[in-house]
Amino acid sequence: MENLEFLMNSLWTMIAAILVIFMLGGFILLEAGSTRMKNAGHIAGKTIFTFGIASLVFWAVGYGFIFGDNANFFVGMSEFFYNGGSVGQIDGDGLQTTVFFVFQLAFAGISLTIALGGFAERAKLSVYLIFSVLFGILVYPVIAHWIWGSGWLAEHGKQDFAGSTVVHLTGAAAALAATMLLKPRIGKYNADGSANPIFGHNQVYTALSVLILWVGWFGFNAGSTVSVADGFFGYVALNTNLAAAAGAVAALLISWIVLGKSDITTMLNGALAGLVAITASCAFVEPWAAVVIGLIAGVLVFYSVRFFENRKIDDPIFALSVHGTAGIWGTLSNGLFATAELAEYTGVGKAGLFYGGGFGQLGVQALGVITCGLFAFAISYVILFVIKKVSGLRVTEEEEIMGLDISEHGSYGYPEAFLSKDETKSL
């Protein structure tokens, strides 16, 4: 029976890891669809390239910093250049250690992908390379260790079941540093400070991306049980779906009320914001609370997008609002809605304010948001500032206007749209 449970846990977690990795396909369509076609091939290619970098860095040092032995409050200090352990070796969650490694690697890759959204349509490819390596060493694993390893926030009972802080806020904070240092895209703002819309080239891509990400999120959240025991993954999946649905509906309705038109992009962002927000709390709250968390996330993302745009922070794929603002709200929501029963079941933290826990858990959640957000932003800003001084972050104005497909890679993602008929025939 124990062997069967080991096999089932390993199988379930491996399936979840595959779902999370497949979310990269959703991010490719999301970023490509939300930007202009002259950068589509570049965006698709750099996503695969940077996931390759993230995988190698996570194998070399990231996993060890998060889960290594001889750990201190800051990082772990073993398991570097992870050797895979032995066949049948069981980790503390009752599954094959290599499966757990792959699952955690997928999360590291997603956080980096979120961070790189802040670079869209204007950063050099070389910057993606350098930043991906340093983010994978100095930023993501440190915060992951603090919360998911044996770090200081874990000791304080910080609740973040699947990564509203570890994955999403960390990535968004890095994206904020990038958008600030890179400055807005050419033509985004007028001399008087007013913003011009720069529309993505394919709204169908963005809608399909949200569906892919929505499905992948069941691996993200429900997979974080890393166990089939008691079927608890079903409960987590229920909360995940409810929050996503509520976020989509709330975002569409608020845009309809405020703008007089039901904005599709806002609705899609609302679904993602609901998913991001419930990621921290999916194992700690009741289903009605998941709906409330998603509804609030959908409204927040609508106003957050406008907040950043009014401050001349150009965020082409809305990473700051979807992953940052919603990530903060989702993390704090545990301090309000976490039940004593579920906190005890998961073995993490205490009940929230509305369930008799007082302000204690809310304070821990807020402490995690502030420290992790500031750490990710500060380290990312320093990394990018140094790169900017040494070699520059941004392509030239001419290269940005012609598009990164041709300037960085020598070919178009949509050759038929840019080449003459004679040139197209020769392809």
Number of domains in the chain: 1
* pLDDT average, residue stretch 259-270: 95
Of 179, 101, 109, 175, nearest to 140 by C-alpha is 109
How far apart (Å, rounded) are the C-alpha atoms in residues 388 and 181?
8
**pLDDT, mean of residues 353-359:** 95
pLDDT for 192 equals 87
| pLDDT surpasses 60 at 397 | yes
Tell me what pLDDT residue 90 has.
67
Is 121 a member of any domain?
yes
The pLDDT value given to residue 86: 63
Q: Is the pLDDT of residue 74 over 50?
A: yes
Question: Tokens for 42?
Answer: 């570049």
Residue 240 within any structural domain of the chain: yes
Does the structure show a pLDDT above 60 at 95?
yes
Q: What is the pLDDT of residues 10-28, one digit of tens each?
A: 999 999 999 999 999 999 9
Kindly report the average pLDDT of the chain as a whole number. 93
Q: Is residue 397 part of a domain?
A: yes
Residue 394 and residue 392: Cα distance in Å, rounded?
Answer: 6
- pTM here is 0.94
Q: Which residues make beta-bridge pairs with 123? A: 394
Give residue-wise pLDDT tens across range 298-330: 999 999 999 999 999 999 999 999 999 999 999
Q: Is the pLDDT of residue 345 over 70?
A: yes
**130 inside domain:** yes
Q: How far apart are CA 345 and CA 333, in angstroms?
A: 18
Tell me: pLDDT of 138 over 90. Answer: yes
The answer to whether residue 165 sits within a structural domain is: yes
In a domain, 419, yes or no: no
Is residue 423 in a domain? no
**How do residues 272-293 score in pLDDT, each as one tens digit?**
999 999 999 999 999 999 999 9
The CATH number given to whatever domain includes residue 111 is 1.10.3430.10
Mean pLDDT check: name the lowest of 89-98, 113-122, 254-263, 392-401: 89-98
The answer to whether the beta carbons of residues 145 and 74 sit under 8 Å apart is yes
- Whether 422 is in a domain gets the answer no
